[in-house]
Structure 1
C-alpha cells in the first residue's frame, strides 16, 4: 500500500493537539499563521475550524506549524474587494 498523504513535510513529530487535522497535511510550505481559520484568543491563537468540527474551543496552537488539510488562505489586509 502506497502512502499518498503529504504528512512527511512536517519536519518533526506529527501530533493532533487542537488542530482541525494533522499538521503537515495541507499545502506545501503553508503555515497556520496564514490560515483564515486562525482566530485570536488573548495573546495567542486557536483554530476556528477545530471549534466548528468539534464544538469545543481548543488550546492555543503554534502559528508556525505546517498547515493542515483545512487550510484556507487568509485575505491580505489591503486586498481589493
Structure 2
C-alpha cells in the first residue's frame, strides 16, 4: 500500500474542494468588488472603534483584512493570466 500516493490524492481532492468554494464565492462578485467591500467593512469597523473604545483584537482584525485583500488580489491576477 502506497500511503504517499493516497496522501497526494487526498491533498488534490482537498485543493479541488477549496477551488470549488472559491468559484462559488466569486459567483457573488469580482475580486475587485470583494476588495472594495472589504475596504468598506474595515473602514466602518475602524470608525466604530472610535465610538466603541479599545478593542484588543484590532491587530488581528487588520491582519485578517489584509490577508483577505491579498487573497483577492492574487485571484484577480490569476483571472487576468487565464484571460490572456
TM-score category, normalised to shorter length: under 0.3
Larger RCO: Structure 1 or Structure 2 (Cα < 8 Å, ≥ 6 residues apart)? 2
The higher radius of gyration belongs to 2
